[in-house]
Structure 1
Amino acid sequence: MVLAAVPSPVTSVWHLGPLPVRAYALCILAGIAVATLIMERRLRARGVAAGTSLDIAVWAVPFGILGARIYHLISSPQDYFGAGGDPLRALAIWEGGLSIWGGLAGGALGAWIAVRRRGLPLSVAADALAPGLPVGQAIGRLGNWFNNEVYGRLTTVPWGLEVHDMRTGQLLPGLYHPTFAYEALWNLGVALLVWGADHRFAFRRGRAFALAVMGYTAGRVWIETLRIDEATTFFGVRLNVFTAVLVFLGATLYFLTTRPEARQPDRAAAQYGGSAAGDGGGSGG
């Protein structure tokens, strides 16, 4: 018996005069801002000059959004290029459809360009971002709630989700697993795990970021099996499951085979143009 239900918004756009304000975009921007702030604090705790996170974000964010959209179009092409599809909707990123896998790849490329310009190792920036990335992803998942998307199969759990067809405004029959919420909560747990482990062991050389990727992909596998939105499959299994497993294995291999690096805060501060005063006792925020 259904004891309760989680409602969904019937609109995801508000208008300030002629200007549309889209909830999905606001959630994505809020997630980016929070992740950047966390990275900034952790970079400064590692002796890196103030403002470096913003320089990295200027390159990483547009590359990440482009990569996220490209992966989504590859993994779910039917709405855009299949029978009855609309190719122009491939440009409508405000409707949703940004994949974390493509976002990671594109964002990494943009970050690599940025850190090369700053003379900063990519691993330093990645470790600083490690707990902030899942927090930002969790915030961004709220946009899926506004868009009535990324939900799972029918359920009778008390937190079952009401879902609207956003094209007609009609409420779909039944209640659904709020898989976007599962992922958001999982991501917050991953962020706490990475922050605590990094604070305890002071990871370096990209190992904190690898731990974040391991945590995220482990959760994504079981969450992905609940989703019912159309996606490319192989042998009846969603492409994103294969991707999550491969990325998990790669991150695990990197984490286990990369030797820890002795901490040398004074040298790091001198090399990256910051101050070592804030680097004592762990990894910062």
Structure 2
Amino acid sequence: MKKLDDHTKALIAVLLAVVAGGGNAVFTKIALREIPPFSSIFLRWFIAFLFVLPLFLREKPKIDKDFGYAFAVSTFATINIVMFAFGVRLTSASVSQMIYAGVPMIIAILSYFMLKEKVTRQKVIGLIVGLAGVAIIIFSPLLHGGLDLRASVIGNFLIFISTISFSLYTIFSKKLQKKHSPVYVLATYIINSMIVGLVFGLFDFVTSPGWYLHISMITVWSILYTGIFGAFLFYLLYQYAIKHGTPVIASMSLYLLPIAAFIWASILLGEKLTPGFILGSILAFAGAYLVTKKPAPTAYS
């Protein structure tokens, strides 16, 4: 049997990641109806920790300065999930996931400055078109109004901040994987997020006392989903895609996640498409396509 090359392995990991994490935004939003943000973060990543721990210990990792550096890098990912947890409560699951489609474009920009990668004319056009699309999605509440207009814009902006943080984490992850496995990199992320969720989650018992006494089964299933599929499996596959491909290839999963997110959101949350969302999505996908397709010959260094 012909052995799969790294590019194919990366694409397979991307597709599996989409299958695993497609409902993450929706189930996170459902869980946040009854569980405060930081407590939700702790529960989600504690579940992920239970799954990654056996794999992590199997590698017999050394807790040295490299672990400290990996732990520091994972802070970008933790900021991402904190901003997402607060942002998704104020906006729709579909919009929140669509904003993440801008991650490949952000990575392309950061790669130019941090990894000294060349930017082609095609990528420049793609970045402009794609970022315009993401901007339309972020401010789409202004186009159709509504009682939660201000909250929606704030929520969209928080999600945008989380995409920048996640993009930085993706680039640094590629550097980490020169010496460490995807499991090692993921484990530091999970431990970091779990600690942050635990520490700040203690304040939830003051601001939202007794929240744990009123948990429905849909919330329980939502936390289990986000912990097992949305955290452990998705990010493990994402790290494998980075290892066998590039940060941009790995972030391709974020092009497909909005489609899965909208299907889940329409079924479970009754969310509807808006003109601003449709227009912004078309531009974001077009921009992402231009950024990631084979570059044209002319380049700017």
User: Is the shorter-chain TM-score for this pair beyond 0.5, marking a shared fold?
Assistant: no
Which is bigger in relative contact order (C-alpha 8 A, separation at least 6)? 2
Structure with the greater alpha carbon radius of gyration: 1
Which has more helix, going by share of residues? Answer: 2
